[in-house]
Amino acid sequence: MAEWADLVAFVRHEYRVIRDEPDEIRIRLSYGDDDYEERAQTVVIAREIFDRREDWVQIATPFARVDEVDLATVLTEIGNTIVVGGLVVMGEHLVLRHSLPLVNLDINEFTDPLELVAGSAELLEQQFTGRDDY
């Protein structure tokens, strides 16, 4: 998979798409089963062009508002537990995100970080807000 269109086609086939735009697609991942309360996480998958020449894909998902959590505690938790992604502030939200170059991208190089970023954000949201807003 080396083209944005190929990645988008894969995402449309494999995931529940909730928004689809030319350079951005949003999906909703669900967690839980019949025995547990189901939670969900919205993930933004966006095409980014690095240095005006290289296509990258960015995986991002919010998990809290900046004003609702102690940032130092969140950063400490992420530093101790999160394998992929980084914490950024986007507007009023704390967002866990990860970026990958599209050139020669294998599907597992996309799906594994996608699942890790979304699952980690879901756990952080639950831990720091106790809600399921995103």
pLDDT of residue 89: 95
For residue range 14-37, list pLDDT tens digits in order: 999 999 999 999 999 988 766 666
Mean pLDDT rounded to a whole number for the chain: 91
For residue range 72-107, list pLDDT tens digits in order: 999 999 999 888 889 999 999 999 999 999 988 888
Q: In what order do the strands lie in the sheet with 93-101?
A: 17-21, 24-31, 39-50, 54-65, 93-101, 86-90
pLDDT of residue 33: 67
The amino acid sitting at 43 is: V
Phi, psi of 70 (to 5 degrees): -85, 110
